[in-house]
């Protein structure tokens, strides 16, 4: 009897051990399976449309698409030449991609978190937190609040700050940017909505003042870690650059003018400085859909998702009527939709969600001509889910808008390889370092192999002849310049040879 009881207990232990060793179904896998069962034809319908556009328009690079619901990632799909030619692709839901200006939604959320913690008062003045920003006492900064920095009604602008943080780089010290601002600024006293990178960057300086930590560290501590966004970062150096989905600038002959990822750690800022992945971004969109309490109270989430100022503009098919602290509040097909897009060179990033329907979209493309493609695909998915009988007819109308935009981009003329400036003794006097007395980064002209290189701050590129002027292809931009004697002129900037 005792032996039987021992055998029975041993049997139970074995069963329990075997059960514990079984891997429970992954929550994300379960959610994608549920979506697939509920919408059995969605993948084939979307796949057909994406692949047809990719082929018909000879798209280059990558197209990424995902649907998020209240349970997380529900669907994802990646298209590129490897996929179309049935080869393994290097990219998946964990691959790093640049979200550009969608960073602003993260920064707005961070400031709201710090307000809940009692670190920052969004209704307090900029002067309270940044007294060193005095603008030569020409503007009363007591009348501009931190909230206005986030919702783009502060009225302040500085070209150097915008260019140094986004493209050219700088010392990394906020004092340099503040001095630039104090010495040369523009101001719109109407305080109407005027979108730019400046406000969130100044807000990030305030974060650093009150927390004693960098904006980058606060993002990690207050948002990425709580949401377990382990593949999300504000540092390019956390990856090898060839791991990051690049941008492609494509000309009218379907040739690649340039490609790459044109950011470094120093140009990852509070208005455009986050690398993430489909997997991680699904956690972020899901947190917004569910207004998850591990980040914020419902009251704070409501302010993040509600207009704090008016705007009246249309982008593609979205009528933007307001702006919160980091999201455009818009309407699409009579639904209120929150969007925050982003772009750099050929990269176009889409993130949106419809609060009442608890569904969001993540989409990405990196062909410079196809910047509307993520929005077109997002709209198709929303219509497929919520207006299925009209989805195809709406898509057809919106495809015409995409085609019109694509054709305009195809007409842009880029430097021709035949016009590369070849090294010659008669041209070599232009070589050297040029400095600007207004604080702009140095420009260096040098040779590489048989051609010339124009280096401006952290950006550099090949020099071409453009009529009687020179033109540098810096990847993120083409920049014309002239040299007369020992002076270099580019746009309104004057440089002197050192």
User: Model-level pTM?
Assistant: 0.93
> What pLDDT, on the 0 to 100 scale, is given for residue 17?
34
Domain with residue 162: its CATH number is: 3.40.710.10
* Domain-embedded: residue 2: no
> What pLDDT, on the 0 to 100 scale, is given for residue 5?
43
Residue that is last in its domain, among 372, 393, 410? 410
Inform me whether the pLDDT recorded for 14 exceeds 70. no
Q: Are residues 127 and 213 both part of a single domain?
A: yes
Inform me whether the pLDDT recorded for 20 exceeds 60. no
Residue that is last in its domain, among 410, 430, 458? 410
Q: Are residues 259 and 202 both part of a single domain?
A: yes
Q: pLDDT class for 123, splitting at 50, 70, 90?
A: very high
Phi-psi region of 195 (alpha: psi -120 to 50; beta: other; left: phi over 0): beta
Q: Are residues 361 and 478 both part of a single domain?
A: no
Long-range (24+ apart) CB contacts under 8 A made by 159-162 are 159/184, 159/186, 160/184, 160/438, 160/439, 160/440, 161/198, 161/201, 162/196, 162/197, 162/198
For the chain, percent of residues with pLDDT exceeding 70: 95
Q: pLDDT class for 15, splitting at 50, 70, 90?
A: very low
Q: pLDDT class for 125, splitting at 50, 70, 90?
A: very high
Tokens of 101: 């200006």
Q: Are residues 401 and 438 both part of a single domain?
A: no
Residue that is last in its domain, among 393, 410, 427? 410
Instruction: Please check whether residue 450 is in contact with residue 422, taking contact to mean a CB–CB distance below 8 angstroms.
Output: yes
The SS3 assignment for 469 reads strand
Instruction: Please check whether residue 306 is in contact with residue 329, taking contact to mean a CB–CB distance below 8 angstroms.
Output: yes
Q: Are residues 423 and 402 both part of a single domain?
A: no
Dihedral sign computed on CA atoms, order 477, 482, 488, 494 = negative
Q: pLDDT tens across 103-119, in order?
A: 999 999 999 999 999 99
Q: pLDDT class for 150, splitting at 50, 70, 90?
A: very high
For residue 433, what are the contacts with CB-CB under 8 A and spacing of at least 6? 442, 443, 444, 497, 498
> What pLDDT, on the 0 to 100 scale, is given for residue 1?
47
Q: Are residues 324 and 445 both part of a single domain?
A: no
* Domain-embedded: residue 289: yes
- What mean pLDDT comes out for the span 61-70? 98
> What pLDDT, on the 0 to 100 scale, is given for residue 468?
84
Distance CA 420, CA 410 (A): 21
Q: pLDDT tens across 397-409, in order?
A: 999 999 999 999 9
> What pLDDT, on the 0 to 100 scale, is given for residue 28?
75
- What mean pLDDT comes out for the span 25-49? 90
Inform me whether the pLDDT recorded for 22 exceeds 90. no
Q: Helices H, strands E: what count in the chain? A: 15, 23
* Domain-embedded: residue 48: no
Inform me whether the pLDDT recorded for 4 exceeds 70. no
For residue 411, what are the contacts with CB-CB under 8 A and spacing of at least 6? 252
Full domain range(s) for residue 155: 97-410
Inform me whether the pLDDT recorded for 69 exceeds 70. yes
Distance CA 462, CA 464 (A): 7
Inform me whether the pLDDT recorded for 8 exceeds 60. no
Q: Are residues 111 and 138 both part of a single domain?
A: yes
Q: Are residues 375 and 476 both part of a single domain?
A: no
* Domain-embedded: residue 9: no
Domain with residue 474: its CATH number is: 2.40.128
The closest alpha carbon to 177, from 155, 191, 159, 194, belongs to: 159
- What mean pLDDT comes out for the span 159-186? 97
Instruction: Please state which of the ranges 16-30, 358-372, 426-440, 479-493 shows the lowest mean pLDDT.
Output: 16-30
The closest alpha carbon to 45, from 398, 381, 365, belongs to: 381
Q: Are residues 298 and 444 both part of a single domain?
A: no
- What mean pLDDT comes out for the span 188-204? 97
> What pLDDT, on the 0 to 100 scale, is given for residue 10?
38
Inform me whether the pLDDT recorded for 19 exceeds 80. no
* Domain-embedded: residue 19: no
> What pLDDT, on the 0 to 100 scale, is given for residue 472?
97
- What mean pLDDT comes out for the span 318-338? 98
Q: Are residues 213 and 137 both part of a single domain?
A: yes
Q: Are residues 481 and 366 both part of a single domain?
A: no
Q: Are residues 386 and 430 both part of a single domain?
A: no
- What mean pLDDT comes out for the span 199-223? 98
The structural domain count of the chain equals: 2
352 to 93, 98, 410: CA distances (angstroms) = 18, 16, 27
Inform me whether the pLDDT recorded for 136 exceeds 70. yes
The closest alpha carbon to 184, from 137, 135, 126, belongs to: 135
Judged on CB neighbours under 10 Å (0-12, 13-18, 19+), 482 is: exposed
* Domain-embedded: residue 35: no
Inform me whether the pLDDT recorded for 296 exceeds 70. yes
Q: Alpha helices, DSSP H only, in 212-352?
A: 215-219, 278-290, 298-304
Q: Rounded to the nearest 10 degrees, how much is the dihedral formed by the CA atoms of 129, 216, 353, 319? A: 50
* Domain-embedded: residue 39: no
* Domain-embedded: residue 300: yes
């Amino acid at each position: 009897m005792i032996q039987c009881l021992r055998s029975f207990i041993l049997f139970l232990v074995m069963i329990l051990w075997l059960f514990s060793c079984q891997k429970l179904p992954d929550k994300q896998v379960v959610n994608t399976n549920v979506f697939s069962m509920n919408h059995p034809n969605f993948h084939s319908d979307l796949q057909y449309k994406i692949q047809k556009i990719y082929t018909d328009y000879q798209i280059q690079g990558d197209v990424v698409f995902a649907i998020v619901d209240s349970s997380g990632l529900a669907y994802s799909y990646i298209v590129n030449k490897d996929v179309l030619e049935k080869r393994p692709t290097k990219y998946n839901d964990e691959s790093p991609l640049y979200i550009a200006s969608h960073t602003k939604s993260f920064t707005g959320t961070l400031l709201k978190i710090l307000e809940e913690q009692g670190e920052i008062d969004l209704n307090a003045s900029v002067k309270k937190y940044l007294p060193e920003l005095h603008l030569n006492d020409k503007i009363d900064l007591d009348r501009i609040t931190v909230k206005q920095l986030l919702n783009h009604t502060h009225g302040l602008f500085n070209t150097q700050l915008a260019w140094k943080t986004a493209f050219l780089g700088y010392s990394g010290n906020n004092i340099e940017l503040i001095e630039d601002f104090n010495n040369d600024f523009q101001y719109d006293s109407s305080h109407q909505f005027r979108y730019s990178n400046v406000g969130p960057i100044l807000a990030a300086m305030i974060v650093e003042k009150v927390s004693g930590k960098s904006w980058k560290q606060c993002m990690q501590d207050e948002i990425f870690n709580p949401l377990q966004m382990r593949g999300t970062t504000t540092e390019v150096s956390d990856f090898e650059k060839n791991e990051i989905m690049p941008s492609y600038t494509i000309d009218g002959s379907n040739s690649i003018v340039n490609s790459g990822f044109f950011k470094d750690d120093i140009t990852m800022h509070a208005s455009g400085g986050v690398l993430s992945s489909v997997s991680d971004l699904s956690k972020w969109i899901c947190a917004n859909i569910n207004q998850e309490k591990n980040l914020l109270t419902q009251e704070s989430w409501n302010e993040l998702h509600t207009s704090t100022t008016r705007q009246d503009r249309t982008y593609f098919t979205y009528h933007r009527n307001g702006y919160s602290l980091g999201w455009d509040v818009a309407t699409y097909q009579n639904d209120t939709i929150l969007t925050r897009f982003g772009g750099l060179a050929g990269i176009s990033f889409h993130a949106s969600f419809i609060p009442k329907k608890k569904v969001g979209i993540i989409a990405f493309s990196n062909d410079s001509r196809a910047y509307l493609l993520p929005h077109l695909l997002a709209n198709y998915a929303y219509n497929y889910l919520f207006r299925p009988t009209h989805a195809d007819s709406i898509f057809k109308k919106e495809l015409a808008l995409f085609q019109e935009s694509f054709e305009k981009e195809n007409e842009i003329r880029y430097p021709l390889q035949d016009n590369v400036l070849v090294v010659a003794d008669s041209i070599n006097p232009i070589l050297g370092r040029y400095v600007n007395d207004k604080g702009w980064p140095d420009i260096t002209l040098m040779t590489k192999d048989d051609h010339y290189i124009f280096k401006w701050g952290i950006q550099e590129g090949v020099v071409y002849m453009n009529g009687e002027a020179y033109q540098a292809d810096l990847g993120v931009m083409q920049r014309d310049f002239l040299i007369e004697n020992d002076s270099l002129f580019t746009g309104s900037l004057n440089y002197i040879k050192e």
